[in-house]
Structure 1
Amino acid sequence: MSNPREEQGMTGFELEFAGQQLVALSSGALWWPDWRLLCVSDLHLGKSERIARRGAPALPPYETRDTLSRLADDLDQTGARIVVCLGDSFDDLEAARALGEGDRRWIASLQAGRDWTWIEGNHDPGPVEIGGQHRHDLRIDTVTFRHIADPVATGEISGHYHPKARVRTHGRSITRTAFLMDRDRLLLPAYGTYTGGLHCDEPVLRDLMRPDAVAILTGTPPRPVPMPRDR
């Protein structure tokens, strides 16, 4: 672990992973300065459209624009030239096709001049008709990006689980989305506006992460704590 970092309006927590110096941003994005790479996971764009399409109670249809607005801010503040979206970028393939023309133009403007990769997720398992390259996983230097963690992998950055942590501070309990990190893997929180979360004391996360894993709580500033494991 390292120290809080704040520059150019960007608040984050520096960490070392797989021999690389990375920054967990307060927004839930991951910044890799040496590669000028910004990584985000689980945008779930179009979720309100999918929910309405399936006949469930409607949600206000603003989450795509809110998510893209926060992503635009992170891109502006970091000056990222490479973007990796770690899967489930769209709530399903039909939601990707149903994006409005304004949202499509906005995504295209964010992609302009950048090397942009959509990693396949379980919600969006195939290519979408939007610019950028589409891959199952991506290897850069000592790091492999994929959507769902491989239990035997090392140097892996993934998403999928939407981790969040519950901790007590100043006599009260708070819950925040969180990065989870051990020596083998780094799990990103969900970045999308309409995304729930899985508490890191759930068995799937307790079993996946090593006993000395750390949770880095999002917010200003991001804060590292031992990964909570008790219900």
Structure 2
Amino acid sequence: VNQLVSIARSFLRDKFFKADVGISGANAVCANTGSIFVIENEGNARFATNAPPIYIALAGIEKIVPTFMDGMLLVEVVSRYASYYAPSFVSIISGPSKTGDIEKVPVYGVHGPKEVHLILLDNGRSKIAKDPVFREALYCVRCGACLYECPVYALTTGYYGHKYFGGIGTIWTAFIAGGLEKAFPLAYTCTLCGRCVKKCPMEINVPKMVLKLRKMLSKKNYVPRYVKNMVQKILTDHVPY
């Protein structure tokens, strides 16, 4: 493993400094200062946000928090619930690299990017924000605490999801990245045990959302064959097996 990490480090180091543009996601975007928070342990995001002359941050609209202090609080919550006492790196980007030390003349692009751009993504987020049940999915801070509690995620060794994992990922798959066709097997795989709710720092009611999603799916005939067979057995033989 150490050798693989060393090879990746050597390969990527040159790429960071030769790149024209660096791109990263964001854990939080502060409305009052425009600051972008990026949490990591590996250190690669620091190079991506600092080495190239242009930096672009991609963030969903749900990442916007009112104030800088709200961003700091989110960092604390994410790191603690991700089982870290503190993350290795927290980058806060509030604008281009600049200096005014020489005759008070502002110069941009010193030891960091000369340009900083923020792209906010909707992709269905504003639609589910209007739903009183599904809007809870937007509260997710991506700490991953629910995945460690999910019995399905443990049994499938992490293969429970499409692009987003776990029960919460089912909702994100349905409305943000994948669609109902990708989401319906995941919705019926969730056990509705509620262990994720107890572990979640935001207390997101995932079982409630999954149940509502199942009702939507059934109306569109997105029901797994084994569920249909079970229902038929109950109707005809009065037993599910």
TM-score calculated relative to the size of structure 2: 0.28
Relative contact order, CA 8 A, sep 6+: which one is greater?
A: 1
- Larger helix fraction of residues: 2
